[in-house]
Amino acid sequence: MTQLVRIGNSQGIRIPKPLIEQAHLEGKEIKLQLVNGGLLITPENGVREGWKEAIERTISAHGQESLDDEWLDFTLDSDDELEW
C-alpha cells in the first residue's frame, strides 16, 4: 500500500521498486489514465518502439531469412520529418 505525498504544490505517490521492475517502468516516461474510478499507470511508448522486432518475427514466421533493415533503424520522432 502507498500513500499520496506532498511534492511542492502537487501530490505524488511512491511506487515500490519491485512493482516498478515487474511493470517495466524503470527509467521510462509514464502515462496516467483514469479507469473505472482508479488510476492506470503505463509506460509511454516511443514512436515506432518495438516495430523492428515485430516485423522480424512476422518475416521469420513466413519463412524468410533476411530483412533489409536499413530503413528500420532510421530515427523518426514524428511524421513531420517525413518527406512526401
Q: List the domain boundaries for the chain.
A: 17-44, 51-77
Residue with cell 518475416: 59
pLDDT at 62: 78
Average pLDDT over residues 44-57: 79
In the block, cell 530503413 appears at: 71
Let me know: does 28 contact 45? Beta carbons within 8 Å.
no
Q: Does pTM top 0.85 for this prediction? A: no
**65 band by pLDDT with thresholds 50, 70 and 90:** low
Distance CA 32, CA 17 (A): 18
DSSP 36: T
What is the structure's pLDDT at 79? 67
5 pairs with which residues across the strands?
Answer: 12
Read off the pLDDT of each residue in 18-22 and give the average, rounded to a whole number. Answer: 92
Nearest CA to 45 out of 58, 28, 65 is that of 28
